[in-house]
Amino acid sequence: MRIAVCIKQVPDIEARLRVSGDGTWIDEEDLSFVINESDGYALEEALQIAERTSGEVVVFSLGPERVREALRKALALGAARAVHLKDPAFLGGDSLSTGRALAGALAAGDFDLVLTGSQSDDVGFGSTGTVIAGELGWPHAWLVMGVELDEANKKVKVTREMEAGMNEISNLDLPAVLEIQAGLNKPRYASLKGIMQAKKKEISEPGPGDLGLAPESLGETGAKIEVLSVAFPEAGKGAQIIDGDAETAARTLVEKLQKEARIL
Amino acid sequence: MSAKIWIVLQQRDGKIQKMSWEAVRAGQALAADLGGTAEAVLLGSGMEEAGNEVGQCSLGSVHVADDESLAVYTPGRFARALEAAIATAQPDYVLFPHTYQTVDFLPGLAQSLDAALVPEAVSFETVDGSVVWQRPVLGGKMFASVRAKGPGPVLVSLQSGAFSADELEKGSAPIETLSLDFAAMSADREILRIEEAIAGEVDLSQAPVIVSVGRGVGDAEKIPIMQELADALGGELGASRPVIDSGWLPRDRQIGSSGQTVTPKLYVAAGISGAIQHLVGMKGSQVIVAINKDAGAPIFNVAHYGIVGDLHEVVPAVTAALKEASES
């Protein structure tokens, strides 16, 4: 099977965040970047399917120069080659213009399956995979917790998470786009051999013209929403913070739960 | 120009899903702000009773698409039906509850309508007739203000708890049938069955105290210190999703949108950052204590008491302090 995986590189949000100079995003300097969590599970699922079916995994990502590092990592894990959409015309989009660009890059690849994560840990639209499916005219499923391929009948049986502990089990015709929920599998670590091999693997960087896409339909220009500002939640609304070392804070907490909150 | 606002409700077997009422309230509020009308939309099969229930809200009308083919949700049929209805009626804003079902089909609907898509809004402001939506980013650590640009409808999904169903304005709305060419719409997936994901062995909804473990616990070997705290408080262990995904606790301990919803007397969240998917499952708790080494973690915004520190030190200290207090 030919499998494409779309990954996003996102900032490690455990870090201390600062609003950027123009106020519309965070200052990316000093931040470290990682492959988005659910995209990592999508990549692992793709690698496992490729191993079972003597297939090939091609990894796609849209973003600035730094994204190359995430693609290298995916290549080290076992993807055969990578496609990096880094032209400025691709950047700054919403899920609609981002999905359009990725679908444009995927269209010529003759893939049986496109996997991606269900939601990015930074902007969290949870939409890009569905938009890709729409652009390609393929069926899709969001929040996929189980994948069973039926190669002979060109179908895939998916378990999709619903609210309140319910699952939906359905069949989709291939080719299809599956948006993978974190926790589906156990992502592997890169081997030294994999890291060495990755250095020789191809990362192509097609521009909008190569994909036959009009630049004005892409990125920030093609987006249907604009971000005006980002901000931290209002201070003072939250918890009463209890200071002191662990022992002092613990004693104060117990006292407050007894005397102030009166629940112990 | 007065704005036309649509609210698309979600139902299963004729029962309106809870977040849908919050979306109706949001639609009423937006209509009041913009000087427009709010109208509801219901899709399903055998919707007469559900339609009448929605009709008891203060709304311009309730549009009901009632057809056998809509009995079970599929993104193909639901998105095509809404696409046709929206293209004809041309509402300015279409609001949805931000459920897993909505997220499954809404991006495709926005795409086919060439509409703006604002997922997971938690509030809005109207500024000179245009609407600015707030939505969480970066795991809920920050909020972005976004606005639609260009012509066309704006599709918005509203996060759970963002609007209060208690503030719903009652009224009497006429029911109108949405006549659509259902035969021309096809399902893009074959639903085999819908089943319970987990045999619910542990019912956390009845526990008076829950000590909930997050990713910050680090590994499975540290679970016992959490269990000791739960025992000292006479409570149960819960967990956020990453802990379950890592296999450190069984899935029937999961709290949040894909797990259980709980409202105990005391909820202790240790090493949980507070992503919205977790918060929707526990924010109704009476008293919330957060222990996290990241002072910027969003859990501190919903907690009543917070300790910024390493849970591996703080949790055993709290257990010890509880024992000390009960002995004195």
ipTM score of complex: 0.92
Query: pLDDT over 70 for what percent of chain A?
Result: 98
Task: For residue B325, give how far its alpha carbon lies from the nearest alpha carbon of chain A (Å).
Answer: 8
* Domain boundaries for CATH 3.40.50.1220 within chain B: 204-327
- Interchain contact A31–B (C-beta under 8 A): no
Cβ contact B85:B41 at 8 Å: yes
**pLDDT tens track for A52-89:** 999 999 999 999 999 999 999 999 999 999 999 999 99
Token pair, residue A190, equals: 């890169």
B-chain CB neighbours of A13 within 8 Å are 138-139, 141
Chain B residues in contact with A142 (beta carbon < 8 A) = 100, 103-104
Domain limits, CATH 3.40.50.620, in chain B: 4-184
The pLDDT confidence band at residue A235, using thresholds 50, 70 and 90, is low
Residue A254, strand partner residues: none
Flag if A257 and B242 touch (Cβ within 8 Å): no
Query: Which A residues 32-91 touch B at CB under 8 Å?
Result: none
Residue B260, C-beta contacts closer than 8 angstroms, at least 6 positions apart: A165, B203, B204, B205, B238, B252, B254, B281
- Which residues is A227 bridged to in the sheet? B146
Handedness of CA B146, B147, B149, B153 (dihedral sign): positive
User: Hey, are the CB atoms on B104 and A143 less than 8 Å from each other?
Assistant: yes
Domain B4-184, second-level architecture: 3-Layer(aba) Sandwich (3.40)
A220 contacts chain B (CB < 8 A)? no
Candidate from B99, B245, B298 with C-beta closest to A183: B245
Chain A hits for B194, Cβ within 8 Å: 162, 166-169
B250 cis-preceded (ω within 30 degrees of 0):
no
Note the pLDDT tens digit of each residue in A179-219: 999 989 999 999 999 999 999 999 999 999 999 999 999 99
Give how far B78 is from chain A: nearest CA, Å: 13
Coil, helix or strand at residue A205 = coil
Query: Residue A212 and residue B187: Cα distance in Å, rounded?
Result: 30
A155-161 and A140-150 beta bridge pairing = antiparallel
**Taking CA atoms, what residue in B is nearest to A249?**
B307
Burial class (CB in 10 A: 0-12, 13-18, 19+), B196: exposed
Q: Which residues of chain B have a CB within 8 Å of the CB of A246?
A: 309-310, 313-314, 317
Cβ-Cβ contacts under 8 Å, B245 against chain A: 182-183
Residues B6-55: tens digit of each pLDDT = 999 999 999 999 899 999 999 999 999 999 999 999 999 999 999 999 99
Q: What is the mean pLDDT of residues B178-204?
A: 86
Cβ distance B304 to A239 less than 8 Å, yes or no, reads yes
Q: Is the pLDDT of residue A262 over 90?
A: no
Q: pLDDT at position A19, please? A: 94
Helix axes A95-107, B100-113, angle to 10 degrees: 80
Distance CA B88, CA B65 (A): 14
Residue A217 makes CB contacts below 8 A (sequence gap 6+) with A97, A100
Q: Which of A257-261, B39-43, B160-164 has the highest mean pLDDT?
A: B39-43
Residue A237: pLDDT band by 50, 70, 90 thresholds?
low
Sorted by where each begins, the domain ranges of chain A are: 2-222, 234-264
Q: B228-280: per-residue pLDDT in tens?
A: 999 999 999 999 999 998 889 998 899 998 888 899 999 999 999 998 889 98
B104–A142: do the CB atoms touch at under 8 Å?
yes
3-state secondary structure of A221: helix
Average pLDDT over residues B93-122: 97
- Residues in B closer than 8 angstroms to A160, CB to CB, are 104
Which of residues 171 through 190 in chain A touch B, CB cutoff 8 A? Answer: 171-172, 182-183
Is A127 within 8 Å of chain B by CB? yes
The pair of three-digit structure tokens given for residue B316, joined into one six-digit string: 């055993």
| DSSP 8-class letter at A109 | T
3-state secondary structure A167-185: EEEEEEECCEEEEECCCCC
Residue B108 contacts residue B146 (beta carbons within 8 Å): no
Please provide the DSSP assignment of A201-218 as one string.
S-EE---TTTTT--GGGS
Phi, psi of A36 (to 5 degrees): -50, 135
Q: Which residues of B touch A182 (CB under 8 A)?
A: 241-242, 245
Q: Answer whether CATH 3.40.50.1220 is correct for domain B204-327.
A: yes
| Best residue in A10, A12, A37, A130 for a mutation probing chain B (most B CBs within 10 Å) | A130
> How close B172 gets to chain A, by Cα (Å)?
30
Which chain A residues contact residue B232 at CB under 8 A?
none
Q: Answer whether B120 sits within 8 Å of A124, measured CB to CB.
A: yes
What is the token pair recorded at B91? 């509402």
Which tokens hold the place of B76?
């193909």
CA neighbor of A84 nearest in space, from A173, A254, A207: A207
| Cross-chain Cβ contact B117/A225 below 8 Å | yes
Nearest to A253 among B258, B265, B307 (CB): B307
Contact yes or no for B265 and A142 at CB 8 A = no
CATH superfamily of A2-222: HUPs (3.40.50.620)
Residue B289, strand partner residues: B268, B305
User: Is the Cβ pair A232, B310 closer than 8 Å?
Assistant: no
Q: Are B246 and B225 in contact (CB under 8 A)?
A: no
Distance CA B277, CA B259 (A): 9
Which of A121, A225, A238 lies nearest to residue B149, judging by beta carbons?
Answer: A225
Mutation target vs B (from A25, A45, A127; most B CBs, 10 A cutoff): A127
pLDDT tens digits, A24-36:
999 998 899 999 9
